Amino acid sequence: MIRIGNILVSKGEGGVYGERMLEGYRVWDPYRSKLAALYLVGTGIDLIPGMKVLYLGAANGTTVSHVADYVEVVYAVEFAPRPMQDLLEVARRRTNVIPIMADASRPEQYAPLVEAVDLLYQDVAQPDQAAIALANCAFLKPGGHLILMLKTRSVDIRKEPAEIFRDTLDILISAGITVRESTWLAPYHQDHAAIVCTR
């Protein structure tokens, strides 16, 4: 990962979401991107050239654009029509972004479009986040990585975030996934946690 001082950056064309430029690099804002927050409060997975990424919950393409600056290709899955319009603009300017309008809970919809990937990144705000991650692990190469951005309030508003965090870890471990790192994303994102795994 590229840092200038203690600031996380990526090398690519700017102007995606009004991000600052620093010495010719795009500043990766941890308040706008949970993945950037993970790299600042935890460790995460190094993004390297040649890496293939399946990104679930691509939204407007803010984080997708930074990931694309580092890796070979990003298969970006988004279900909502409005964010997809912005994502298409990101894909127009970054030819290694493949936008896919589909439901991440139904990976069979996009299975013909996606090759085996090195990293599965999930940022989907649905109650069954762990189940969605596990279903999409079918695309992961052996030894590949999963980063699950857990939005605890989207799982169950009645439960404490810490309880949901523990339950999600148990589900992943029971499915044979090795958890390498788990951390809260405060102060950048409240009640959000990152779970970094290896298949």
The CA distance from 166 to 78, in Å, is 27
Res 126 pLDDT > 90: no
pTM of the complete model beyond 0.85:
yes
Backbone angles phi, psi at 143, to 5 degrees: 80, 0
The CA distance from 34 to 50, in Å, is 23
pLDDT tens digit string along 90-103?
A: 999 999 999 999 99
State the helix-helix crossing angle for 62-70 and 81-93, rounded to 10 degrees. Answer: 30
CATH code of the region 29-198: 3.40.50.150
What is the residue extent of each domain of the chain? Answer: 29-198
Per-residue pLDDT at 22: 96
pLDDT tens digit string along 133-158?
A: 999 999 999 999 999 999 887 777 77
For the chain, the straight-line distance linking the first and the last C-alpha, in angstroms and rounded, comes to 22
| Percent of the chain whose pLDDT exceeds 90 | 88
Q: Name the binding residues.
A: 62-63, 78-79, 103-104, 123-126
Specify which residues 3 forms β-bridges with.
8
Q: Quick check: helix, strand or coil at residue 119?
A: strand
Q: Name the binding residues for S-adenosyl-L-methionine.
A: 62-63, 78-79, 103-104, 123-126
